[in-house]
Amino acid sequence: PGLEQGLDTRLRMGAAASVSGEDLELEAFVAAKTAYDALEDKSDNAATMRAVKEAYVSKLKPATAPTKRNIFILFGPPAAGKGTHGPRLAELFSIPTLSTGDMLRAAVAEGSEIGKQAESIMQAGGLVSDEIVAGCIKERIAKDDCGKGFILDGFPRTVEQAKALDEMLNATSEAVSQVIALEVPDEVLVERITGRWIHKESGRSYHVKFSPPKSLQEGMTPSAETMLDDETGQPLMQRQDDTEEALTKRLANYHSQTVPILSHYEPTGAVRKVNANQDMEEVWKEVNSGLPSSA
């Protein structure tokens, strides 16, 4: 009876005059009184007090606001430097870089419903639809390692895909934080692409002009004999599509379908254009200067 009388008195006082700063406490007393009234057996004073106290304290704890995720789109043409700056961005924010190819392969390996759909299409030699890619991304970004955010590399490639991404994020009251657009003139990209050699097993990348292996001495002609991996001494190789002809087609597709994505996101203020035609460290400084806090 004493406990019930005390709760009733406090509630009447709170109802008569809501004092600034005491609304939370009043809610706590309401919760305590509700818990008290819900108890059928009040004979155990210790148990009754414990139930009332738990209800009271639970209301005094401030609600924890959901953590805002950092959601980046790493944007740029082939050889713009996404493979260089993406890992640094991922390390800075402790978030994963997600590529559509990796996500599709992972979904297939996991045997998810989306993975099964993608596998049947890929085995038939078809192109995976935007709907399946979006579903794959939706599954992936729900995993624990994306709790702080994630970086999308290679998606979206069209305005339609960007709209699908926006709709997906809007369902959880989220939006793209930044679109980091690495900009390089086409003629520079040709030089970067055609001079690129890679070590197939490790993925290490070299360039005959900008980052040659130790085996390529001055005056030598780049070849399988002169382009050797620094760590293993194994021959390097050039990708089949690392040619001027292939790049010309890829750039035409990039400018016609992918570049309009910037116009889609510019009204939101998310787009940051970075001059990627400069020293690698200078590019990173420019990228880093406009990033949100990583704390």
Q: At what angle do helices 130-140 and 159-170 cross, to 10 degrees?
A: 40
Catalytic residue among 33, 69, 82, 140: 82
Catalytic residue among 53, 88, 209, 239: 239
Catalytic residue among 157, 163, 204, 273: 157
Catalytic residue among 69, 140, 192, 196: 196
Residue type, 87: P
Q: How far is CA 124 from the centre of its chain?
A: 30
Catalytic residue among 59, 148, 204, 250: 250
Query: How far apart, in whole angstroms, are the C-alpha atoms of residue 104 and residue 170?
Result: 23
DSSP letter for each residue of the chain: -HHHHHHHHHHHHHHH---TT-HHHHHHHHHHHHHHHH-S----HHHHHHHHHHHHHHHHSPPPPPPPPEEEEEE--TTSSHHHHHHHHHHHHT--EEEHHHHHHHHHHHT-HHHHHHHHHHHTTPPPPHHHHHHHHHHHTTSGGGSSEEEEES---SHHHHHHHHHHHHTTT----EEEEEE--HHHHHHHHHTEEE-TTT--EEETTTB--TT--TTPPPSTTT-B-TTT-PBPB--TT-SHHHHHHHHHHIIIIITHHHHHHGGGT-EEEEE-SS-HHHHHHHHHHTPPP--
Answer yes or no: 88 catalytic.
Answer: no
Answer yes or no: 105 catalytic.
Answer: no
Please tell me whether the peptide bond between 260 and the residue prior to it is cis, using omega within 30 degrees of 0. Answer: no
* Residues assigned a catalytic role: 82, 157, 196, 239, 250
